[in-house]
Amino acid sequence: MSNMVFYCTDHDGLWPVGVASIVVAPSESIARLILWERLKERGLEKGEFTLQKLDTSTSQAIILNDGNY
């Protein structure tokens, strides 16, 4: 099974500003577990988040956070 790329812009953060994370995993469920563990390591284990699958079959740019609060 090959890996997929997921991104998340709505998980908990240390400060009340935008967040952005990239996860590479073979499935969404594994990606979710990996991100939960990383957030937990930083003391951010509260809240839910959304994972978006990144389509790697086409060239594109996705702006995860442009600083516009």
Q: Would you say residue 17 has pLDDT above 90?
A: no
* Other Cβ atoms within 10 Å of 44 Cβ, number: 16
**13 inside domain:** yes
**60 inside domain:** no
**33 inside domain:** yes
Rounded CA-CA distance 12/19 in Å is: 8
Q: Tell me the pLDDT tens digit for each residue of 20-63.
A: 999 999 999 999 999 999 999 999 977 799 999 999 999 999 99
**64 inside domain:** no
Burial class (CB in 10 A: 0-12, 13-18, 19+), 23: buried
How many domains, the chain? 1
Give me the CATH number covering residue 24: 3.10.20
**20 inside domain:** yes
**27 inside domain:** yes
**68 inside domain:** no
